Amino acid sequence: MNLQFWKSKAPAGRTTTRTTFRRAQTIDPWQREVISRLSGAIEVRGSLDLYDLMREVSPVLDVAIIKLVQLIGDFRLDAMGNTRAQEVLEATKKQVRVGWVDSSFNSFITQLADSAIAKGFGIGELVPDSLLKGVDRLKVARANEFRFMVDGDGKLSLGQMDRYGFKPVEMADQSLIYYLAFDLRDGHPQGVSLLNSLPAVVKTIMRIQHAIDSTAWRVGDPTFLILQMAGDGQNGDDLKADLGAKAADLQEAMLTRKAGGLMDLGFGYAPNGKLEVKVLGGDAELPDLTVPTKITMEQIVARTGLPPFMFGLSWSTTERMAKEQSDMLTSEVWTRRSRLDPIIERVFTTALVLNGLNGVKWQHEWDPVNLQDDEKTARARLQNATAQEKEINARIALLDAGLITADAFVEYLVVNGIESEESVKAAGGVEAIAKNYQDAKGTRIAVMLSRAE
């Protein structure tokens, strides 16, 4: 509420104190609670508008979200030999409209996952065509405009804020709405955004960037200070006029240099006077911001779970740490894929039903998660196979010398996944398979290893 006060003349002899009233830019917490209760909605966790701003001012966060979405990868569709169903599945995946100008189901998944990571949840909708003969398009909504509604029976549904932004209006057909959240906590229907714990970190980064920007301005566009002491025959007015002329000439010279030109200056002063031109703040020692910047960036890297090199950061790390981080990131990718599986199944099953193919069996299969390039992966596999071959040869030598038993040799093969209990039985037992390996020294071991894989 804005209150207006009439101004009146202060009584004589009384001191008038001016008080400034500041209006809050956001709704007070108690007002949010009242609005939520009146509208029957569950308030969203965190400020989604703030998350948009954080992503806009921090390129590192923007890159992190984009890369996390890209790591989800692609999948293949299989209609189990049904040619007509396979055509419908492939056409829906490649050609379905997304919004009004985009196309392909991958774009729909990308936008939905992007919203779920950045805002905590994403909302999409399938729109059938007017004749109910296929899918007209898929839509991804802006999460900021939605709330979770609870009716009198405790049923949860999604509602979109009305045109005034006061209360949510329940959406008509919830069966065609797709909801995605990757990080659900405490029973709250909204997922937790990746940016939830980073506002203070981003604020620190902005402060550091502002300091760097100020430093660049100080060095690249310095302020000059002219110090002049009056000489013989000069009064205050003469000195003031002389300083003004010198400052104007210096400013003109700087503007000329900025425009790419050259200009020489010549200053004079009265006898027994003194003239000195300095750079304002030029002798100040600027702090090194490398350490605080790295410490702050480490908070973002830790929250995203991505290795530093994916941000272009050259931080040293050991191979073992990199492998462990790769394994954790791969596990996280598969977790996000499992959240997307129900949406994929619902969309393509609906597409089959609309095309008159109700009850057709089909499945989808995700592509392998690959965090390294093919050359490094092939080199690592070759090195592992070479090391494994040497270990097998060493144990065969021990077996030939009678230093270990056939049971111990085969146990090593089974424990390391080179052979299985079924393959041992199929070969005729422990003694038989041990003899096979003894006979298969040298190059034949590689063939047996490839057969086991």
Closest CA to 328 of 295, 361, 306, 301: 306
Structure confidence by residue, pLDDT tens digits, 396-439: 888 888 888 888 888 888 888 788 888 888 888 888 888 888 77
For residue 52, being part of any structural domain is answered with: yes
When the pLDDT of each residue in the chain is averaged and rounded to a whole number, the result is 77
Q: Based on the structure, what is the number of domains in the chain? A: 3
Sign of the dihedral through C-alpha 54, 294, 313, 221: positive
Same domain flag for 258 and 387: no
Same domain flag for 256 and 153: no
**Cα–Cα distance, 369 to 366 (Å, whole number):** 8
Which of these three, 279, 312, 343, is where a domain ends? Answer: 279
Structure confidence by residue, pLDDT tens digits, 104-131: 999 999 999 999 999 988 989 899 888 8
Residue 123 forms beta bridges with which residues? Answer: 141, 179
Same domain flag for 189 and 228: no
Residue type, 11: P
**In what helix (H) or strand (E) does residue 150 lie, and over which residues does it extend?**
strand 146-150
Same domain flag for 146 and 256: no
Same domain flag for 246 and 177: no
For residue 431, being part of any structural domain is answered with: yes
**Cα–Cα distance, 147 to 340 (Å, whole number):** 21
pLDDT at 87 over 90: yes
Closest CA to 192 of 303, 140, 116: 116
Q: Which residues of 9-36 are buried (b: 16+ CB within 10 A; e: fewer)?
A: eeeeeeeeeeeeeeeeeeeeeeeeeeeb
Same domain flag for 88 and 184: yes
Provide the domain limits for residue 165: 29-197
For residue 313, being part of any structural domain is answered with: no
pLDDT at 161 over 60: yes
pLDDT at 290 over 80: no
56 vs 19, residue with greater confidence: 56
Same domain flag for 90 and 192: yes
36 vs 157, residue with greater confidence: 157
The answer to which of 204-208, 259-263, 358-362, 388-392 has the lowest mean pLDDT is 259-263
Same domain flag for 170 and 272: no
Same domain flag for 172 and 239: no
Distances (CA, A) of 213 to 206, 207, 291, 365: 10, 10, 17, 49
User: What is the predicted pLDDT for the residue at 197?
Assistant: 86
For residue 70, being part of any structural domain is answered with: yes
User: What is the predicted pLDDT for the residue at 39?
Assistant: 54
Same domain flag for 230 and 188: no
User: What is the predicted pLDDT for the residue at 372?
Assistant: 59
Structure confidence by residue, pLDDT tens digits, 5-48: 334 444 445 444 444 444 434 444 444 544 555 556 677 767 88
Same domain flag for 146 and 243: no
Residue type, 38: L
For residue 2, being part of any structural domain is answered with: no
Same domain flag for 126 and 264: no
Sign of the dihedral through C-alpha 39, 42, 48, 50: positive
